Amino acid sequence: MTTASPKTVRAELADALDASRIARETAERELHRSIALRSRAAEALERTARRPGLDESERARLRAEYAAADHVVAERRAVFEKRQEFERAASVVARAFEAEATSASPLAAALLQLVGSKRGGTARHGALASGRTAPAARVRSPRPRTA
C-alpha cells in the first residue's frame, strides 16, 4: 500500500470539505423549499376549514396534499441532517489531521495511507485484498460534542 504525502491528504480533505458543504447547502435549500410548500398546503387547508358548503372530497384532497408535503419535509430534513453530520465529521477529520500531520500520530498515518491507497487505483491493496482490514486509528481524547 502506498502512502500519500501530507499535501495530497490536505488537498483531498479540502475537496471533501467543499463537497460536503455544497451537499449540505443544497439539502438545506431543498428543505426550506419543502417547508414553504408544506406551509402553503396548510394555509389552503385552513382557509377551507370554516367555509360552508365545501365538498368533502375537496377537503380530503387538501389533507392529502398536506400529508404528502409533510412527508417530503421529513425526508428532506433527514437528508439535510445526514449531510450536516457528514460535513461536521469531515471538518473534525481535517482539523485533527492538521493538528497531527507533523507528528507520528496514528490518525495522520492512517489518513496518509488511506489517501495513498485511493490514489493507487483502488482502495483494496495488500492486506485489504485478502479480506483483512487495516487497524483503525484511535483518538485518545476526543473533544466533547457541542450543539
Show the CA angle centred on residue 68, arms to residues 31 and 52, nearest 5°. Answer: 120
The answer to whether residue 107 is domain-embedded is yes
Domain count, the chain: 1
Q: How far apart are CA 5 and CA 7, in angstroms?
A: 5
Q: How far apart are CA 144 and CA 94, in angstroms?
A: 17
**pLDDT higher than 80, residue 11:** yes
> What are 53-89's pLDDT values in tens digits?
778 888 899 999 999 999 999 999 999 999 999 999 8
Structural domain for 38, as ranges:
6-128
The answer to whether residue 78 is domain-embedded is yes
Torsion-angle region of residue 2: left (phi > 0), alpha (psi -120 to 50) or beta? beta
The answer to whether residue 143 is domain-embedded is no
The answer to whether residue 49 is domain-embedded is yes
pTM over 0.75: no
The answer to whether residue 144 is domain-embedded is no
The answer to whether residue 135 is domain-embedded is no
The answer to whether residue 147 is domain-embedded is no
The answer to whether residue 137 is domain-embedded is no
> What are 103-140's pLDDT values in tens digits?
667 766 776 676 666 655 443 333 333 333 344 443 34
> Under 8 Å CB-to-CB from 36, ≥6 apart: which residues?
none
